[in-house]
Structure 1
Amino acid sequence: MPLSNSAPLFHLRRIELKMGETSEDRSEIAFFDVETTVPTRSGQGFAILEFGAILVCPRKLVELQSFSTLVRPADLSHISTLSVRCNGITKEAVISAPTFMDIADTVYDILHGRIWAGHNILRFDCARIREAFAEINRPAPEPKGTIDSLAVLTQKFGRRAGDMKMATLATYFGLGQQTHRSLDDVRMNLEVLKYCATVLFLESSLPDLFTENSWVSPNATTRSQSRRESQNVNTPSSSFSGEIHSTSQTSARSDPFNLAALSDEMIKDPLMEEEESLSIDQSSTASASGGSNGCADFLEADNISIPSLSVTSVPFYLGSQKIQVLHKNFPLQVLCRRLKVRFGISTRYVDHTGRPRLSFVVNAPPSLCQVLDTCDNLAQKLSVESGSCSEWRSVVTRKPGFYNYPTVRLQ
């Protein structure tokens, strides 16, 4: 039964009562997904347009309950043509939908204290949830564990399915087109995990018969290809459900993040490091002057002609595409000497278990920033034109108050 403007609180209360049917220890896995607007200018944030979640029994991997609703953003003008192209959610579809404030209690009750699961949730969905709660001055829900299927499957299943995006994985296993609607996506996410787990189980049971290469499917495709096809057959729904539906009645662990070995390697005499750096520079210079493979094909940032930069799509892995940067129609390779590198543990970047990762940042000189900014703009434009709606992160980072001190994060 859809929510209406006249009685949103009635439905929200009923949702909370139904949520009480779950176990007291909150052992269910909360698979969730958000659909958002797509920022079209620098500094513009994301606005949640739809939230969908299912609670899954961790012992049987069956869906116990579900919840989904469209969400009306504070500023409807953020729903751009690009945003509609990505998920099909229009201004008209959300005009009578509840705001995030209206559903905040329900979202909190679904997520808080449970294991969170989803595809690329650590980099995207979790951040959007925390931002949404911060905007209404409410404490955000916290998970007792996280399962990011993008990270887990990339590590355990490998890239045999292509770029490992949900649409590609769904095509690989013959699960149909991704609709880019929250509830459909989380259910597809659960099915993809089941299929991947089955394949890995078979391979581990009979490794001599079931090799990894034997499972490469000709169905592998890119997300942009599947989206273009799905737009011809899928009509976005403008209705939204504000009820949790009860139905009839796995997480992968990685090795602990250990910096001990890295710390041992980094304890060196400063003089030794300086000598090693000098030795590397000398060998690189000798290699370049000799015309060998070393640095001969690399260009210093000052020697790069900005108008001569261009980008193109080239074949990548199992039918997928990647963006290649060209300089005068040749692949661009940039050489930057003696950059200042800083590193440390950053809570903004976490692994698939939610633990902070070691982060490396380079101070970028103006000449390098000019090259990277141009390449970034060209690549983003090509990505959008090719139909991709993936979150885009600028290569060069400029923080408020430190605009004249740009940095580049190493991947």
Structure 2
Amino acid sequence: MEMEGGGGREEIAFFDVETTLPGRGGGIGYSLLEFGAILVSPRQLVEVRSYSTLIRPADPSAIASTSVRCNGINPETVASAPSFPEVADQVFAILHGRVWAGHNIAGFDCAVIREAFAEIGRAPPEPKGIIDTLPLLAQRFGRRAGDMKLASLASYFGLGQQKHRSLDDVRMNIEVLKCCATVLFLEASLPDVFSIKTPEMFCTIIPASEGCNSFAGFLEPDEVSVQDISASIVPSSHCDHKLLIQHRDGPLQLCCMGLRVQFGPSRKFMDHAGRPKLNIVVDIPESLCKVLEACDLLAQKSSQNSSSRSEWKPVIRKDGYPNSNSIRLHIPIVANGDAATYSTEIYQKLSGNMLKLVFAKYDDVALDSLFVPGTCVDAYFCVETYAYEQYAGIRLVAKTLILHSKQSII
């Protein structure tokens, strides 16, 4: 199909590729079988131009039966199709200098395009920017439609079955995006009317009450006097002693606004039930850094004075870069019989409206879609100490986390 109409480079290029599957043992990589693209006006979200073509691979016998079962493209289908060198100019003209968009394109389609141009000795097209709707919708729309595959999202909105053909999948992707944007717009506009029931694996979103939680006693870094921080040993039923970090006459509780997520939930360490000990890594400002460094120094000295032989782990991560400091915010898990959930209250702020996320059960995968790197979060947390096996240090326990989201996803 030839590209129709004219226009500048301001259109968004939604595209999709169909490929062969690699041979067993990885001997043969992906070969293009089909390319399809739709240029969309970013202002009206209407289709401006479209283009699709089958592509004959250098070795048609590389089209495995598993590939044919997926998209129906067999060696006979592409026998008279052009080779990639014959369509490379058209593909380049469509993609180069435009914003690229598609479902999981960052993880697959973009790499396939670059490899195809490399194989013919040509420089690949370069995007002005990339919109991958897989992580975008996972973050903004959540897993209420199940997994984030295009087929699942299309089924959720009643758009029919995915055909696994490039141009059809691109059109389906655009319609899914429009549907998600409409739902999010309605939810943000009338949060008290729309109570969203989502699969148990994710959460139920309900309007948050005014003020969410009681934030009394949480201090911003500039409100903390370092001279008034103290670390004292108090009795504990679980160990010989426990360090309590205080500010003046009460436990030190901190809040800091607009922290940027550096890494989502970690699964490196497990609890006694085999569940990951969840924490997120966020960048912190210099004001918070000074407060936590003072806490760390006092707590470490108190630990050493109590004859502890545990290795002290600094609370602030330096990350190997100057002026780059980050911390781990721990998300504790509370067991309730055989079930478990989080004690941290998690909210989402959408265009000034606050929505509380209530998790039906422990689901660390759901948190992945919320705490995406780059997301800003307001954190309310307390400062505790820990001593685990040969390590000791400060743990920052998140009491409330408020994620900032935009009203529109495009």
TM-score normalised to structure 2 length: 0.50
What is the rounded CA distance, in whole Å, between the counterparts of 1:184 and 1:276 in structure 2?
Answer: 57
What is the rounded CA distance, in whole Å, between the counterparts of 2:93 and 2:158 in structure 1?
Answer: 34
Equivalent in 150, 156, 160 of residue 144 of structure 2:
160
- Aligned counterpart, 1:119: 103
Shift of 1:255: 9.2
- Aligned counterpart, 1:385: none
Please identify which structure carries the higher strand content. Answer: 2
Q: Aligned letter for 1:162?
A: G
Q: 1:87 to 1:197 in 2, by over 3 A?
A: same
Q: 1:352 to 1:275 in 2, by over 3 A?
A: closer
1:6-53, Cα deviation, whole Å (9 max, x unpaired): xxxxx7xxx5xx56x112xx1100000000011131222101100000
- Aligned counterpart, 1:50: 34
Q: Structure 2: 5+ residue runs without aligned partners?
A: 201-257, 263-281, 298-303, 314-334, 336-358, 361-371, 376-410
Shift of 1:73: 0.6
Q: 1:274 to 1:126 in 2, by over 3 A?
A: farther
Q: 1:57 to 1:274 in 2, by over 3 A?
A: farther
State whether residues 170 and 178 of structure 1, in contact with CA within 8 Å, keep that contact through their aligned partners in structure 2. Answer: yes
Give the paired residue count. 230
Residue identity over aligned pairs, in percent, reads: 61
Task: Kindly indicate whether residue 90 of structure 2 is the aligned counterpart of residue 106 of structure 1.
Answer: yes
- Aligned counterpart, 1:286: none
State whether residues 117 and 147 of structure 1, in contact with CA within 8 Å, keep that contact through their aligned partners in structure 2. Answer: yes
- Aligned counterpart, 2:10: 27
SS at match of 2:137: helix
Q: 1:261 to 1:42 in 2, by over 3 A?
A: farther
- Aligned counterpart, 1:206: 190
Equivalent in 160, 168, 174 of residue 184 of structure 1:
168
Shift of 1:216: 6.4
State whether residues 151 and 352 of structure 1, in contact with CA within 8 Å, keep that contact through their aligned partners in structure 2. Answer: no
RCO comparison, higher one (Cα < 8 Å, 6+) = 1
Q: Structure 1: 5+ residue runs without aligned partners?
A: 2-10, 218-253, 278-292, 294-316, 319-349, 354-411
Question: 4+ residue stretches of structure 1 with deviation over 3 A?
Answer: 254-269, 350-353
- Aligned counterpart, 1:143: 127
Find the structure with the greater CA-based Rg.
2
Q: How does 1:57-96 map to 2 (within 5 A)?
A: 57-96=41-80
Q: 1:149 to 1:206 in 2, by over 3 A?
A: same
- Aligned counterpart, 1:39: 22
Shift of 1:212: 2.7
1:371-403, Cα deviation, whole Å (9 max, x unpaired): xxxxxxxxxxxxxxxxxxxxxxxxxxxxxxxxx
1:184-242, Cα deviation, whole Å (9 max, x unpaired): 000000000000000000000000111232x669xxxxxxxxxxxxxxxxxxxxxxxxx
Shift of 1:76: 1.1
- Aligned counterpart, 1:275: 311
State whether residues 23 and 29 of structure 2, in contact with CA within 8 Å, keep that contact through their aligned partners in structure 1. Answer: no
Q: Aligned letter for 2:138?
A: T
- Aligned counterpart, 1:261: 284
- Aligned counterpart, 2:240: none
State whether residues 122 and 352 of structure 1, in contact with CA within 8 Å, keep that contact through their aligned partners in structure 2. Answer: no
SS at match of 1:45: coil
What is the rounded CA distance, in whole Å, between the counterparts of 1:30 and 1:352 in structure 2?
Answer: 24
1:74-119, Cα deviation, whole Å (9 max, x unpaired): 1112101011011110000001101111111110110011010000
Q: How does 1:228-239 map to 2 (within 5 A)?
A: none
State whether residues 104 and 134 of structure 2, in contact with CA within 8 Å, keep that contact through their aligned partners in structure 1. Answer: yes
Please identify which structure carries the higher helix content. Answer: 1
Equivalent in 153, 156, 176 of residue 172 of structure 1:
156
TM-score normalised to structure 1 length: 0.50
State whether residues 147 and 352 of structure 1, in contact with CA within 8 Å, keep that contact through their aligned partners in structure 2. Answer: no
State whether residues 148 and 352 of structure 1, in contact with CA within 8 Å, keep that contact through their aligned partners in structure 2. Answer: no
State whether residues 48 and 128 of structure 1, in contact with CA within 8 Å, keep that contact through their aligned partners in structure 2. Answer: yes
